[in-house]
Amino acid sequence: MHILITGGTGLIGRRLCAALTARGDQVTVVSRRPHMVASLCGADVRVLTSLDDWQPDQHVDAIINLAGEPIIDKAWSARRKQVLLDSRVGLTHKLIEKIRQAQIKPRVLLSGSAIGYYGIHPEEINYEDAAAGDDFSAMLCKQWEEAAAPAKELGVRLGYLRTGLVLDEAGGVLKKMLLPFQWGLGSRLGNGKQWMSWIHRQDYQRAVLRLLDDEQAHGAFNLTAPMVVTNAEFTQILAHTLHRPALFTTPAFVLNLVLGERADLLLTGQKVLPKALLARGFQFEFPDLSAALANLLKR
């Protein structure tokens, strides 16, 4: 298969490039940093510097659409929110236009989304048929999905990757947590009752490859492990895995002060279960957080 990936140089995308090339697929990555693609994604990966360079006669079998500015890095000013939206929704609109122009349409589009789609409902279990929330993260995910929706009318099988916290020792949330925990300064966040719906990087990759290949898979898929934990449980399991104490609490007001609206990403969470993936027969290698962390951190 020839697969086009937007956001292929990112934490998730790089791993996917490696997994796809390892099984013999041809990968093309769209990147604003073409000089980085060989080192981040692999020497065999082709590169387009912009979607504008994708010509109608260049056939690809599948597209994985992950590009987007990092969510938590910068304060959510009105301008930053627009950048977050444009880098996902705007780019996806453009992608749909390019698919429309393609002489031969790709068979499948797996388009990015996140569990933030469900908004803030602390006690509810969110399966794929739950309604979207109304906070900024939820609106961002909803618009991102809506931008990809016309793919269906173009005869392209469409799957939404409603991704949870991808645990990867090389980056993302886990890497950010490691240093304070290693120093014995690990802490639960706020009251620690918020849900953390996570997935081991290897299960994420396996799930995406499965959704690429499974001709019957379409619609929304929660990419989260079946064992959801609270932040307090996550904190204890991570501390135990590292053989370090986690005696502290970072109060909610401190996070609110430092992060503003973005503190919601840490202080609220969604209890999300992967009903659609399990229904398609997907089996998790790491359904359990202790085993996942022990594997990632080689303990």
Ligand X SMILES: NC(=O)c1ccc[n+]([C@@H]2O[C@H](COP(=O)([O-])OP(=O)(O)OC[C@H]3O[C@@H](n4cnc5c(N)ncnc54)[C@H](OP(=O)(O)O)[C@@H]3O)[C@@H](O)[C@H]2O)c1
Chain-centre distance of CA 269, in angstroms? 15
The one among 3, 4, 5, 13 contacting ligand X by CB under 6 A: 13
The one among 3, 4, 12, 45 contacting ligand X by CB under 6 A: 12
Per-position x/- string for 14-53, each x denoting binding to ligand X as judged by CB under 6 A, each - no binding: -----------------xxx--------------------
**Which residue lies nearer to ligand X by CB, 80 or 210?**
80
Rg of the Cα trace of the chain? 19
> Cβ 181 to ligand X, closest distance in Å?
18
Cβ atoms of 96 and 145 within 8 Å: the answer is no
> Cβ 172 to ligand X, closest distance in Å?
4
The one among 63, 68, 76, 239 contacting ligand X by CB under 6 A: 68
> Cβ 115 to ligand X, closest distance in Å?
7
Cβ atoms of 74 and 14 within 8 Å: the answer is no
> Cβ 191 to ligand X, closest distance in Å?
23
Task: Give the ranges where the chain is alpha helix by DSSP (H).
Answer: 11-22, 34-41, 78-85, 91-101, 136-148, 172-182, 201-213, 231-242, 252-259, 264-267, 275-279, 289-296
Q: Which of residues 88-117 bind ligand X (CB under 6 A)?
A: 91, 112, 114
Q: What angle do CA 267, 193, 76 make, to 5 degrees?
A: 10
Q: Report the alpha-carbon distance of residue 35 to residue 14 in Å, rounded.
A: 14
The one among 39, 52, 55, 70 contacting ligand X by CB under 6 A: 70
The one among 71, 120, 185, 209 contacting ligand X by CB under 6 A: 71
> Cβ 193 to ligand X, closest distance in Å?
21
Candidates 69-77, 123-131, 149-157, 208-216; binding stretch for ligand X (CB under 6 A)? 69-77
> Cβ 126 to ligand X, closest distance in Å?
14
Structure token pair of residue 22: 């390892």
**Which residue lies nearer to ligand X by CB, 114 or 147?**
114
Nearest to 164 by CA among 124, 123, 221: 221
Per-position x/- string for 158-197, each x denoting binding to ligand X as judged by CB under 6 A, each - no binding: -----x-xx-----x-------------------------
Nearest to 92 by CA among 157, 26, 8, 150: 150
> Cβ 216 to ligand X, closest distance in Å?
24
Those residues with Cβ within 8 angstroms of residue 221's Cβ, 6 or more apart along the chain or in another chain: 128, 159, 160, 161, 162, 207, 211, 274, 276, 277
Kindly state the DSSP code that residue 168 receives in the 8-state scheme: B
**Which residue lies nearer to ligand X by CB, 12 or 196?**
12
Candidates 63-71, 96-104, 148-156, 234-242; binding stretch for ligand X (CB under 6 A)? 63-71
**Which residue lies nearer to ligand X by CB, 10 or 106?**
10
Q: How far apart are the two ends of the chain, measured CA to CA in Å?
A: 36
By the criterion CB under 6 A, which residues form the site for ligand X? 7, 9-13, 31-33, 66-71, 87, 91, 112, 114, 163, 165-166, 172
